[in-house]
Amino acid sequence: MSDVAERPVIDIEALRARYRVERDRRATPAGRTYLDITGFKELHADPYSDTSARAAVDDAVDVLIVGGGFGGLLTAARLREAGVERIRIVEVGGDFGGTWYWNRYPGAACDIESYIYMPLLEETGYLPTERYAKADEIRAHARRIGEHFGLYDHALFSTQVTSLDWDGAAANWQVATDRGDRMTAKFVVLTTGPLNKPKLPAIPGIETFAGHSFHTSRWDYAYTGGSNTAPMTKLGDKRVGIIGTGATAIQCVPPLAAAAGHLFVFQRTPSSVDYRGNAPTDPAWAASLTPGWQQRRMENFTKQMAGVFDEADEVGDGWTVLARAVRARLTEDPSLAPRFMELLETADFEKMVSVRDNIGRTVTDPATAEALKPWFSLFCKRPCFHDDYLGVFNRPNVTLVDTEGRGVERITPDAAIVGGKAYALDCLIFATGFETSTDFTRRAGFAMNGVGGLPLASKWRNGMTTLHGLFTRGFPNAFFVSQAQAGMSPNFPHMLSEQARHIAHLVAACRDAGIATVEPSAAAEAEWTQTIVATSGERLKFLETCTPGYYNGEGNVSPQVAQSLPYGAGPVAFIELLRQWRAGGDFAGLERDGAHARNQEQAA
């Protein structure tokens, strides 16, 4: 599929107006409220592992990592490389993998190229079997990393941290878990992930549904049969409903359509679904790789996404399509360089025209095709890529139930109601995503209390404040691994890898210099937070134009949203900033062994 050669003639003002209409009719706060899924044990329990009792652990480590997904694995791997041995990883899931432990739904696969998405490939000597690897292969790779770096002996699985309390006198963190563990750690690393808590829409009557139901991150294969890659064998006589049409649904709807007696897809906002083009790994390409290739390829992708065009686009897929279009225009006419943002916006409008045209060509029923068309900018929501999703709606056993932006109205014991019509269901699947806008401690599932017992939730009540997104004053020796106030690449593991490198450097530097505690100075934290707000202008303006979703706080673009955005100068600049900070070697902006880090109550 050509993405830069043909440029359609488009009326940009008319498109802007349509985008506004579509955004506004979805901006209904009442339709965007969510129940706490932990109250629904049958929807939240781990269906994949045995969580039977074990002996409680009582020990002391140098670094305790909360989260055993790629963030935790990368951090632990880099710490091991830096010679830090006393590590503990606490993970809610029954194994390593994080999001890939939980998300095993049929068709689950990475939608970023696996050669840059699956971390530590060179270190572990592994090359993915295909360009966009399936979930089973990615989860196996998480286990490979755990084994390669000897992390299994240090992991506590099926364990939820319940509290983290700073002990100023001992200069360490006291950690409690739901398994009765009591541990201390000099440093804690919070890699709980941005999408760890399943989101359950507050649809009236949801608790009355008497059929079978589950969230996509807790797939019930005992009910459906099949696996991530094998066909589901038990749904042939079932009426199955799925709520949600985000990146998850795009992947699991095609196998569900093939298996279900009838499938009803309940849509509030259509996704942008573009060409995928998966392929087995080319052995000739694999043989051509030279040491350091993965880091270079990750950096190359992040550069394209950040508009840094000093290298050719190596990945060259649907993610970097706008970069290619803008680059082509600049090659035609270099004098356009100062109008970069305008070129990008035009490329986006053009791309979305081609996405909508493709829907019109693929889906035979005109009303269904029209309902599937996305009316927003490509990066307002997670772009999706799938070669079978759209064609599914030509099947006689599949019905798109378009809720015209309002969502499912009501759920009864045996049906979902939309526009007053009842759709009778045996099974209801929630592909409704993950909480992102709720309080950090609600999502992480534990309380965190810093110097003087200050709860993290209190400190961040009016918005988060950090240095580099990694440290926050009053919480010494604690590292927060997220995109908020840090760098953001759609290739999450790339940024996780850079943050892990930084954390390992810092822990080792403290060890080597005999430093017991570090935390940001008040001035450094204020300055960085101000930098985030000051550089957020373009991004905020863009998010305001977007249809509600988790990228823009469900359409609530408040000052607090601005404060938790990634660094506005972009991920390439952020990585360079961290690199220079390390090279400086002077712990700039951090107080070492400061009075504030000691427990003030005890000092008094």
| Whether 489 contacts 301, CB under 8 Å | yes
- Which residues in 3-32 contact ligand NAP (CB under 6 A)? 26
- In the set 23, 215, 268, 494, which binds ligand NAP (CB under 6 A)? 268
| Whether 44 contacts 71, CB under 8 Å | no
Q: Is 431 in the site for ligand NAP (CB under 6 A)?
A: yes
**Distance of closest approach, residue 339 Cβ to ligand NAP, in angstroms:** 30
State both tokens at 330. 């600049």
Of the candidate spans 107-115, 256-264, 512-520, 591-599, the one that interacts with ligand NAP by CB under 6 A turns out to be: 107-115
**Distance of closest approach, residue 382 Cβ to ligand NAP, in angstroms:** 3
Residue 470 burial (CB count, 10 A): 22
Distances (CA, A) of 48 to 112, 191, 258, 345: 25, 21, 24, 44
Three-state SS for 436? coil
Of the candidate spans 279-287, 371-379, 425-433, 568-576, the one that interacts with ligand NAP by CB under 6 A turns out to be: 425-433
Residue 577 burial (CB count, 10 A): 15
Q: Is 241 in the site for ligand NAP (CB under 6 A)?
A: no
Task: Name the DSSP class of 195.
Answer: S
Cβ closest to ligand NAP, residue 39 vs residue 236:
39
Stretch (H or E) spanning 326: helix 321-332
Residues with Cβ within 8 Å of residue 563, at least 6 apart in sequence: 463, 464, 465, 485, 529, 532, 533
Three-state SS for 527? helix
Cβ closest to ligand NAP, residue 177 vs residue 251:
251
Cβ closest to ligand NAP, residue 28 vs residue 531:
28
- In the set 245, 477, 497, 599, which binds ligand NAP (CB under 6 A)? 245
- In the set 63, 79, 164, 203, which binds ligand NAP (CB under 6 A)? 203
Q: Is 247 in the site for ligand NAP (CB under 6 A)?
A: yes
One-letter amino acid at 456 equals: L
Residues with Cβ within 8 Å of residue 84, at least 6 apart in sequence: 62, 63, 504, 507, 508, 511
Q: Is 429 in the site for ligand NAP (CB under 6 A)?
A: no
- In the set 63, 66, 249, 265, which binds ligand NAP (CB under 6 A)? 249
Q: Is 246 in the site for ligand NAP (CB under 6 A)?
A: yes
Cβ closest to ligand NAP, residue 251 vs residue 599:
251
Cβ closest to ligand NAP, residue 111 vs residue 525:
111
Q: Is 385 in the site for ligand NAP (CB under 6 A)?
A: no
**DSSP track, 444-477:** HTSEEE-GGG-BHHHHTTT----BTTTB-TTSTT
State both tokens at 78. 């880099």
- Which residues in 519-558 contact ligand NAP (CB under 6 A)? 549-550
Question: Token match 């993965």: residue?
Answer: 294
Cβ closest to ligand NAP, residue 277 vs residue 453:
277
Q: Is 106 in the site for ligand NAP (CB under 6 A)?
A: no
| Whether 120 contacts 114, CB under 8 Å | no
**Distance of closest approach, residue 110 Cβ to ligand NAP, in angstroms:** 5
In sequence order, what are the beta bridge partners of 176? 163, 182
- Which residues in 273-312 contact ligand NAP (CB under 6 A)? none
Q: Is 206 in the site for ligand NAP (CB under 6 A)?
A: no
Task: Name the DSSP class of 101.
Answer: H
Binding site for ligand NAP (CB under 6 A): 26, 109-111, 195, 201, 203, 243-249, 251, 266, 268-269, 382, 403, 407-408, 431-434, 549-550
